[in-house]
Structures are given as C-alpha cells and as structure tokens.
Amino acid sequence: MTVVVIGAGIAGAACAAELAAAGVPVRLVDRAGEVGGRMGGHRVAGRPVDLGAAYFTVRDGAFERVVRRWRDAGLVRPWTSELAVFGRGTRDRAPGPQRWAAPGGLGGLVAELVRGLDVELGREVRRVGPGPVVDGEPADAVVLAMPDPEALRLLGPEHPAAAPLVGRGWRPAIAVAAGWEARDWPELPAAFVNDHPVLTLVADDGSRRGDGAPVLVAHTTAEVARAHEADPDGAVGPVLDALRELLGIRTPPEWTLARHWPHASPDGTREALFHLTDDGIGLAGDGWGSPRVETAWRSGHLLGREIAGRVRRGRAAG
C-alpha cells in the first residue's frame, strides 16, 4: 500500500511519521520549499521568528511523549503559564496551562518529525480524484492535511469526500514582526487583545525564544487581514500604532516583516479529529477538533494510525 500525504505541516508530518513507523510506504509532499506549514517561520536579523502559531500546550499523553523527546533534544522549552489580557483600556492576567515555545523556531519540530521520511517539497498538487488519484497518478490512500478551503480546492465540490469541508468559514490574519534596537515595553510574555479593531494577540519573541531579543510579533484581526490581503505590508502601520497605544512604545522599529495567512483559524470546532472515507481519502489538520498545535498533531497521528490499521487488517485478510 502506498499513501500520499499532502501538506507538510504538523498534522501531515504526524500522519506520515505514524504510517512510516507502522511499516506503511508513505510520501509526504508540499508545495512550499520547507516543512512546517503555519508553524513555519522566517529568519530575520540572524534569528528565527515564528509568524504562525504563537506557542503550544500539552494535554494528551501521546503528544506529551513527543514533547519530551523534543525537550531532551533541546528543541522546546517551557515558556509561560500566564498571559496578559488587554481589553477596553484594562490589563488583566489569564492563568492557564503551560505554554511551550521553540528556541530554534516551531518549524524545527515538524522537521524533526519527518526526519528520514520520503519528503518532496516544491511539489504543487493540483487535483485529487476518486480512486484515489493524485494528479492522475493512482495511490492506495491520500491524506489532505490542510485547512478546509485548500482541501476543497484539490477535491472539487462534487467529490464524495468534499461534503465535510463545505459550509464552515475560516478567519484570515496577518502576522507582523518588528525588531527594535532595545526593549521599549513593559515585561510581557504574550497577551490576548480583546475587542480591539487591529490586534488579537501580541507575543514577545525574545521572551518566547529565550534570547531576550527586542522583537514583538502581533496578529491582526480578520477584518484588518481582509483589508490588506493584497498588500500585507499595508497592515504594518496600523499594527505599530496599536502597539504604541497598548504598550507605550516610543521608538520606531529597526525592521518589520508581515505575513498574510488566508486560513489562519476556523470558525468553531469539530468533535471528530479526522475524516477517512471508505476509498482511502483522509482529512486532517487543526480544522478537526479544536484549532491548537496539539490537536493538529493528534489529528494526523490518529489518522495515520487508522490507515495503518486498515493496512494490517487487509494483510490479515489476504
């Protein structure tokens, strides 16, 4: 049996890793030049900056074992269990679970998951048809590990596997990173920003990464992202104005970087963590369950386990 996993974010990586561990031949493909998906980042001024997911939490036992492996390898560190909350001119605190961060960037965690696997980057899949077939080439199973709108684009609305993907909205966001010569704001691991016209989240990237660099990463509202979809850099000015208002920053940054995420997060959650059709088309990602890094990993991991189980049952029947 040959499985093609499309999408090398953490869900696709977890699915491919589980299949490979079960002895199932698997190919992981992605149109980008590196693995990571929305956990991928950039290097600016000689250091990595995470522009997608801000952090991750750990609740599931199987995911905890993976995180322990990452920690032993120096890839992750406990960051903070409390975030600030800005709203209507006030600043409060939001205690919660331990948030984890990656000193070398969250994309490195995905790279660790797929080390030694058959990964094809720079490959843009255009169509997944019944059978299943990938751009006309047959496969025994195909996994689409990506946001619903992207999976729907590959399947087409008339595909039998497309039904679960129809009818749910996704919110865009623009992530803006900015670096200063020196820190010019009060102590702040990260903050949720409620009821604000521009921002939803601010993270101190130097605190998050542990190197103390004077770098902030801010995520915009969906409305700002839609307004600047064609020109993400146009959101930089409003974001810097909002940071000055919230944090009292007086100096301009030395550099800025903006990244538009058209499908940053889904509206609402699903009870199911993945979907697998009888003819072997699987759907996984943070659109299944709740939109968290851990849930995306579990989605891919559990889907890989289910496909591997089908393989074992087929071998036993044969």
Does 3-49+106-166+269-317 match 54-103+169-267 in CATH topology?
no
What is residue 91's predicted lDDT score, i.e. its pLDDT? 84
Write out the chain's pLDDT in tens, 318 residues: 689 999 999 999 999 999 999 999 999 999 999 999 999 878 888 899 999 999 999 999 999 999 999 999 999 999 999 999 998 778 888 888 999 999 999 999 999 999 999 999 999 999 999 989 999 999 999 999 999 999 999 999 999 899 999 988 999 999 999 999 999 998 889 999 999 999 999 999 999 999 999 999 999 999 999 999 999 999 999 999 999 999 999 999 999 999 999 999 999 899 999 999 999 999 999 999 999 999 999 999 999 999 999 988 876 776
CATH number among 3.30.1120.10, 2.60.370.10, 3.50.50.60, 3.30.565.10, domain 3-49+106-166+269-317 = 3.50.50.60
Q: Where are the domains of the chain?
A: 3-49+106-166+269-317, 54-103+169-267
3-state SS class at 171: strand
Fold entry, domain 54-103+169-267: Polyamine Oxidase; Chain A, domain 2 (3.90.660)
Whether the Cβ atoms of residue 257 and residue 51 lie closer than 8 Å to each other:
yes
